[in-house]
Amino acid sequence: MSSEIQLSLFDESSSNPTELIPTDGKIPIPAGTYTHMSELAQHCNQCQRCELGQTRTHAVVGRGNLNAEIMIVGEAPGQNEDETGLPFVGRSGQLLEKILASVKLTTEDDVYIANINKCRPPNNRVPTPSEMAACLPYLLEQIRLVDPKIILLTGATALKGLTGEKQAITKIRGQWIEWEGRLCMPIFHPSYLLRNPSKEKGSPKWLMWQDIQAVRAKYDEIKQSLS
């Protein structure tokens, strides 16, 4: 009997999907690997699919409503995010919350926030293509689990990292594009707005106000169609 129990335990542990996830960043993680975000978060904090795993304090997986209709995708964690394990909690995050609040959107009800990369690059540099590729399967699983109708891509790195689109963010921001059957809109990264504080017509902040209002209108349209 004891040998049967031992064999059973062995079989269960070896069938744990997280133990079968490839550590080589060039090998994709199969879609459907995770059944809940907590499993994904646990594995991100153990991940060594790229060298960023060697220097992180915390993996930064996401925050917000796990059933949100809107997902915001950022670039990679900064120092505040690395220390807390939460995305967009520094000055950029505070501004992002204000932008959302201006059209009555919240992370409690309407929005889930994640990043292309879950670990902070040294000195907050832009993630390399190989680092983004190694981490992308986690984001794809997050999108599958949350199942948002709208994805907002903050900045050129997020845009390129998810969709492969290489256009400058100044050229493509505010435009609806379709990706994998979902509506996506590239928007300015909040850190860009912090560097460009003017609110004059045509300024980045003014353009962001137009974009977030368009997002709110599309969100209301989607909610109405679902009701």
pLDDT tens for each residue of the chain, 227 residues long? 444 443 333 334 434 555 556 778 888 888 899 999 999 999 999 999 999 999 999 999 999 999 999 999 999 999 999 999 999 999 999 999 999 999 999 999 999 999 999 999 999 999 999 999 999 999 999 999 999 999 999 999 999 999 999 999 999 999 999 999 999 999 999 999 999 999 999 999 999 999 999 999 999 999 999 87
pLDDT at residue number 27: 85
pLDDT at residue number 21: 67
User: CA 108, CA 146: separation in Å to the nearest integer?
Assistant: 14
- The enclosing H or E element of 19 equals none
pLDDT at residue number 62: 98
Chain CA centroid to CA 123, Å? 20
By residue range, what is the domain housing residue 87?
A: 2-226
pLDDT at residue number 13: 40
Which CATH number do you get for residue 35? 3.40.470.10
The secondary structure of the chain in percent helix, strand, coil, rounded to multiples of 5, reads: 50, 10, 40
What b/e string do you get for 62-99 counting C-beta neighbours within 10 Å, with b at 16 or more?
Answer: bbbbeebbbbbbbbbbbebbbebbbbbbbebbebbbeb
Beta-carbon contacts of residue 68 (< 8 Å; ≥ 6 apart):
107, 109, 110, 111, 112, 146, 148
How many domains does the structure of the chain reveal? 1
Identify whether the C-beta of residue 83 lies closer than 8 Å to the C-beta of residue 58: yes
Collapse the DSSP code of 74 into the 3-class scheme (helix H, G, I; strand E, B; otherwise coil) and give the result.
Answer: strand
What b/e string do you get for 121-154 counting C-beta neighbours within 10 Å, with b at 16 or more?
Answer: beeeeebeeebbbbbbbbbebbbebbebbbbbbb
- The enclosing H or E element of 168 equals none
pLDDT at residue number 19: 59
pTM, full prediction: 0.90
- Of 101, 77, 102, residue with least CA distance to 88: 77
